[in-house]
A = this chain, B = another copy of it.
Amino acid sequence: MEELRIGILGFGTVGRGVVTMLQEHGDEIIKRSGVRLRLVRIATRTPSRDRGVDLGDVELTNDVYRVVNGDDIDVVVELIGGYDPAEALVRDALNSGKHVVTANKALIAERGVGLLDLAANKGLELSFEAAVAGAVPIVKAMKESLAADPVERIYGILNGTCNYILTEMREKGLSFESVLADAQEKGFAEADPTFDVEGIDAAHKLAILAAIAFGTPPNFSGIHIEGINHISDVDIAWAMEMGYRIKLLGIAKRLEGGVELRVQPTLVPESSMVASVEGVFNSVFVRSAYAGTTMYHGRGAGEKPTASAVVADLLEIARNQSAGAKCRVAGLSVLTKHLKPLPVLDMAELSGEYYLRLAVLDRPGVLADVTTVLARYDISIDAIRQKGRSQKDAVPLVIVTHKTTEQRIQSGLKALEALESVREKPRFIRIETGFA
């Protein structure tokens, strides 16, 4: 029987998932491809550690080059993560004629172009379904199913850790810090959660999706990134009161003159489907010219969901091999020679609705002061609410605006901050509404 010989770099949780999936479902894969996916070798720094998996005649080695350069390997699965040495190893694997499957979003988002080019020139696959939204087959959907249907915008809940934290904050009324500590204890957040809570991981995924959608090289550095570490339980509660939930969204829009690219905590209507995406799940909403909005949802991380995406890429390579197909689909869907950078629109140029929260003195005339300032900047008010009474402390005043520009909001907030009756730096969060 035809074979596809596999070597794996890195033997952590995802690696273990891939190994058990190949063992348990190898026969099903044969029924669908006519090809046996045979695991030959795994390179790990700790070959002697017991992972509770019976490896049979699979070789364990601490020499990555026995995988990357091995004559008996057809595909290298890169599960090391990070930039170095992952980049060099993927390059070496391609240079020695091996397909590569990776779950490494940072690598594809920040250094992917050169590697994808190299793969294309060699007639090899460099596949990365697992890099975006785990088990959700959004990369294939965008590269193939929506490839003929121009994408107008993407909204993604792309980081399960952040979504879990926001869900817990809302449901339990707890602060960011206390939920994060709890999530770390439960293993839903890393010991160093920076990449997740500061929005960097979501931005890596967004850079990849936007590149596929708009036919550009991934533009990670062009993304405006805000994390959830400054989101207060007070804003979550106010958002609920105003009929919204707060989600960390990756947003990419194709507009006249360029693209909008940002990862931001965002208010979404509580009746919209995106609001019902809770906990560690990932969801991607894609609006394209003909399909309208299609949505893809599932587990964004974890041993088995990530393994499912990795093995799907392996099966794809097996089927390509069996059918004699080389580079059937370009790495980012658009053929390399047609990839074209697009200008990223400045945040100040964007328009939308906004949630504002001020701390104001509780005395006559304050509401008139605030609304006069907003009127001066042509910011019109959709809803306004004040709660609580206090002789000496400031009380919260929450405003939802109609559509306006970020520039006006920024100027308006500066003017508000200068008012004597406004006691703290005003908070603002963007609102997104178009999910269907």
Contact = CB atoms under 8 A, between A and B. Distances in A.
Interface string A290-333: 11111111110000110111011011100110111111111001
Contact of A290 (B141, B147, B308): B308
15 contacts: A24-B289, A28-B150, A28-B215, A31-B335, A32-B148, A32-B338, A135-B290, A137-B144, A137-B146, A140-B140, A144-B312, A291-B299, A323-B327, A324-B326, A325-B325
A298 B33 CA distance: 29
A209 interface: no
A168 interface: no
Given A215-B31, A312-B144, A323-B328, A295 B298 contact: yes
A299 B295 CA distance: 10
Interface string A139-167: 01100111111100000000000000000
Given A28-B150, A298-B292, A328 B330 contact: no
A201 interface: no
A323 B124 CA distance: 12
A265 interface: no
Contacts of A32: 147-148, 330, 333-335, 338
Nearest to A340: B31
Interface of A: 17, 21, 24-25, 28-29, 31-34, 129, 135-137, 140-141, 144-150, 215, 273, 276-277, 288-299, 304-305, 307-309, 311-312, 314-316, 319-320, 322-330, 333-335, 338
Among A129, A149, A298, A330, which residue has the most Cβ atoms of chain B within 10 A? A149
A27 to B, nearest CB: 10
A272 to B, nearest CB: 9
A312 B149 contact: yes
Contacts of A319: 328-329
